[in-house]
């Protein structure tokens, strides 16, 4: 009865459904325990580990943005890191200018979301209303990302500045220095009170964790809603979905902009975390890295993607002293995942566990009674 009540509650608020793995009471109990452990992590880990954990959480937000558009929408974007960087630059530029006048970065966070959405709206309208699909969208998004990176590397001249924020060319936006205001930390003000969330602090970790939970739950609700079903229909068969009367171009454009908003939010958080952002984020490696996270987890499930992103990011952190070896090993993991678990290693393992839990014990027939009878 308790499990049925939990499932009914989940369905009532739209968090459970066929588009997501983990719809049982057992899943939500494990999920709550995992969340409690993550909340308590600052009490158990060192400051260095907490700083890196914040960055890993930010990466999981970026991965969920690609999971939404590719796993559920069927649109492979190889330029997802570009929206991440656009959001980071937007936050940094707005924050540098606003922190001096208003003393907060609330509008800077909004800029980190709105600017990538505006860029995605223009790019997406050109792609989807000209009926670009499949590999052409993947190639175009990657090319646009590379072009943006090329442009940002040429902005060392003081001419390239907005207000007090200079683009910085190859160096990008940097922390505060001598005569340079620098990228400010997250700062919120209400009346005479103010809260500063420095990327090196525990408060920033908890804030980022709260945002990850909200994004995760919001996307679970979305993909199990009526819009989510339209999205799945577009992924499975665009032509058939269009013949049923749905505006597939608008659906694709909407999810493209939504994924850009989530990626931009993660970029803004990253810039606030490290107080810097530079053009290297527009290059091939960061864009492919996001794809690796999603493929290894299972692109059609949010939970699997979050888990794989955290695990792979932790592996990359441990291998950081070895330079490019980290990316090489993650690439090998991608190859293995595509060969032995095309639906994602984490997703298939989770599905297996779910089947084992759901399986009822089999009762052997009483053959001896049958013989006596």
Here the CATH number for the domain that contains residue 146 is 1.10.3470
Residue 360: predicted pLDDT? 54
What b/e sequence results for 322-339 when a residue is b if at least 16 CB atoms lie within 10 Å of its CB, and e otherwise? eeeebeeebeebbeebee
Does residue 34 sit within a domain? no
- Strand, helix or coil for residue 125: helix
Beta bridge partners of residue 166, listed in sequence order: 161
Residue 372: predicted pLDDT? 38
Does residue 269 sit within a domain? yes
Does residue 36 sit within a domain? no
pLDDT digit string, tens, across residues 98-150: 887 777 788 999 999 999 999 999 999 999 999 999 899 999 999 999 999 99
Q: Assess contact for 297 and 60: CB atoms under 8 A.
A: no
What pLDDT tens digit does each residue of the chain (373 aa) get? Answer: 444 443 344 444 578 877 887 788 888 999 999 999 999 999 999 999 999 999 999 999 999 999 999 999 999 999 999 999 999 999 999 999 988 777 778 899 999 999 999 999 999 999 999 999 989 999 999 999 999 999 999 999 989 999 889 999 999 998 876 567 788 888 888 767 778 898 889 999 999 999 999 999 999 999 999 999 999 999 999 999 999 999 999 999 999 999 999 999 999 999 999 999 999 999 998 999 999 999 999 999 999 999 999 999 998 888 877 777 777 887 788 888 888 888 888 888 877 777 777 665 544 444 434 443 4
Does residue 2 sit within a domain? no
Domain carrying residue 180 = 14-27+46-356
Does residue 5 sit within a domain? no
Q: Assess contact for 79 and 259: CB atoms under 8 A.
A: no
Q: Assess contact for 180 and 92: CB atoms under 8 A.
A: no
Tokens, residue 322: 């070895």
Residue 320: predicted pLDDT? 78
pTM, rounded to two decimals? 0.89
pLDDT digit string, tens, across residues 245-265: 999 999 999 999 999 999 999
pLDDT digit string, tens, across residues 302-334: 999 999 999 999 988 888 777 777 778 877 888
Does residue 7 sit within a domain? no
d(CA 204, CA 185): 9
Angle at CA of residue 31, ends 25 and 36, nearest 5°: 130
Domain count, the chain: 1
Does residue 6 sit within a domain? no
Does residue 185 sit within a domain? yes
Write the CA distances from 293 to 6, 67, 282, 339, 364, integer angstroms: 30, 9, 17, 16, 44
């Amino acid at each position: 009865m308790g499990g049925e009540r939990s499932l009914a509650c989940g369905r009532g608020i739209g968090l459970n459904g066929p588009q997501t793995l983990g719809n049982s009471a057992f899943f939500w109990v494990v999920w709550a325990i995992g969340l409690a452990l993550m909340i308590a992590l600052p009490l158990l880990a060192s400051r260095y580990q907490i700083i890196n954990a914040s960055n890993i959480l930010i990466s999981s937000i970026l991965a969920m943005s690609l999971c939404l558009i590719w796993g559920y929408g069927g649109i492979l974007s190889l330029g997802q890191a570009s929206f991440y960087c656009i959001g980071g630059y937007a936050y940094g530029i707005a924050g540098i200018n606003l922190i001096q006048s208003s003393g907060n970065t609330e509008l800077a966070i909004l800029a980190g979301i709105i600017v990538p959405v505006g860029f995605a709206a223009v790019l997406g309208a050109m792609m989807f209303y000209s009926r670009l699909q499949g590999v052409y969208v993947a190639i175009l998004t990657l090319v646009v990302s590379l072009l943006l990176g090329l442009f940002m590397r040429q902005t060392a001249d003081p001419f390239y500045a907005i207000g007090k924020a200079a683009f910085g060319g190859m160096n990008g936006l940097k922390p505060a220095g001598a005569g340079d205001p620098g990228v400010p930390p997250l700062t919120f003000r209400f009346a005479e009170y103010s809260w500063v969330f420095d990327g090196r602090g525990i408060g920033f970790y908890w804030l980022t964790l709260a945002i990850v939970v909200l994004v995760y739950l919001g996307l679970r609700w979305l993909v199990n809603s009526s819009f989510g079903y339209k999205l799945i229909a577009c992924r499975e068969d665009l032509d058939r979905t269009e013949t049923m009367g749905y505006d597939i171009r608008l659906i694709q454009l909407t999810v493209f902009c939504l994924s850009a908003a989530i990626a931009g939010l993660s970029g803004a958080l990253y810039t606030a975390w490290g107080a810097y952002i530079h053009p290297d984020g527009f290059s091939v490696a960061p864009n492919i890295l996001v794809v690796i996270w999603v493929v290894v987890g299972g692109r059609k499930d949010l939970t699997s993607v979050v888990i794989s992103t955290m695990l792979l990011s932790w592996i990359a952190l441990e291998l950081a002293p070895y330079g490019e070896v980290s990316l090489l090993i993650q690439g090998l993991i991608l190859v293995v995942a595509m060969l032995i678990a095309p639906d994602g290693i984490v997703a298939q393992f989770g599905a297996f566990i779910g089947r084992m839990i759901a399986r009822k014990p089999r009762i052997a027939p009483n053959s001896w009674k049958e013989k006596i009878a």
